[in-house]
Amino acid sequence: MALLTNALKYMRIKKNFFIKQKIVIVLLLFSFVAFAGIIYTFQTSSNLDAQHIQLVESSEKIEIEVFNARIMLDEFLDGDTSIKKGSILECYGKANNYIKGIGLITTNSDSLKLDQGNRFLYQLTKLDSSIVEIKKIVQLSLNKRQQGNDSSLLNSNRNFILIFNEYEKSLHSYISESNNLLKRKIFILLTAVFIILIISLILIVRLMNSLIRTNRELLRNTMKVEQSERKRIAMDLHDGLGAMLSSVGLYSKILEKEFKDNKQASSNLNQITQLSNQALQTVSEVINNLNPSILKRHNIVESLDRFCSRINKVGNLKLQFNADEFFGKMDKSREVILYRICSELINNTIKHANATKASIVLSRTTKVMLKYQDNGIGFNRDELLVSDINGMGLTNIIDRVESIGGQCLIDTSKGNGFAISIEIGIDKRQ
């Protein structure tokens, strides 16, 4: 029995480890996806902000260079010898370079696929043509060193201002649509992460339920193996040792009659008879503990009532049993587990608690409820569950309850007695 139980426990540990490993993998995958999404969002947002800042700054520099060139041209034509022709033309050259830089920035951007991106590039091209046109007129004026083309220059500058205003509008629209595109991407990403989170939670819940079912199944199998082994050992004791002890008692009685004239021999034989009867009674108690035969003749309420009556007769513990609110029947396998739990709890109270009173309350509504309490010395619950001090077997009781889908609630502390509440589900057909 020990080998089979250990094998089942090993299977339980192995299965638990495998399921927990799956849960860790799911959590790691979700964490990786979420972290990658955060990095992508941060990097994309930073790059887009930097790009927009660069576009705005370059656009402002274009306007500044054109206006600087105009001011320098007016001063040059007015006779300011400190201003050189090259400086004026250089301003237009810088403006053209800034336009080329803006073109490179937008060419490498995904936002060019947007409607506002195409419009922005169109306005940028017009702006570049406008500056080229102004540069030609300015160069002609510089060569003649006169203001003969003043009207053409004024018209070109006025046209530049109009084009630049349209360009700025298209730039703002382009930036706005790029931001909206980023927001949509972030929304899609967050939606995907949320969906992955939901899927991960569903998988974790399913794995946890699988873990719980596996534990219960393995516990149930352990209890079945234990129960079958208990029955086999009980039968072996009954058919083997019990039969031999009965034979010893029978033969000693026969010999006692034959040696009734020999007082010494008769007394010895009588003592053998009594010892064999005591041994047979002890074997019967062991058999009953291994496989409670009383449950074959009575239901759980009558069996516990008789058990409590026997405890009250032979011990110093005053045990009260109340089943007024219990009705119906239970599955025999659950009755056996419940009977063993009560037996183990009472045994713990007698051996370890130094209690004078204890009570068992058995009731049934939508579930079977068992409440056990004593006025003993109590103990530290957490320490006992970890180390199982004095072999009280609380973990064994909890395992028995969980094997049939039940729950335990233990309430105890040093000097304040012991109490346990057990809930066990009921088969709807019962």
In a domain, 372, yes or no: yes
Q: How far apart are CA 393 and CA 49, in angstroms?
A: 66
Strand partners, 423: 369, 407
pLDDT of residue 3: 45
CATH number of the domain that residue 314 is part of: 3.30.565.10
In a domain, 250, yes or no: no
Split into its structural domains, the chain has a count of 2
pLDDT of residue 288: 61
pLDDT > 90? residue 372: yes
Final residue of a domain: which of 189, 213, 237?
Answer: 213
Measured CA angle at 360 (ends 420, 363), to 5 deg: 90
Average pLDDT of 73-77? 76
Final residue of a domain: which of 213, 240, 269?
Answer: 213
pLDDT tens by residue, 227-280: 666 666 766 665 566 667 677 777 677 776 777 677 677 677 677 777 777 776
37 and 169 both lie in a single domain: yes
**Domain region containing 343:** 298-425
Average pLDDT of 63-85? 79
Average pLDDT of 37-52? 83
Burial class (CB in 10 A: 0-12, 13-18, 19+), 420: buried
Final residue of a domain: which of 167, 184, 213?
Answer: 213
pLDDT of residue 360: 92
Q: How far apart are CA 373 and CA 281, in angstroms?
A: 30
14 and 160 both lie in a single domain: yes
CB 77 within 8 A of CB 146: yes
In a domain, 392, yes or no: yes
pLDDT > 90? residue 77: no
pLDDT of residue 234: 61
pLDDT > 70? residue 342: yes
The alpha carbon of residue 388 and the mean position of all alpha carbons in its chain are separated, in whole angstroms, by 28
Tokens of 102: 């803006």
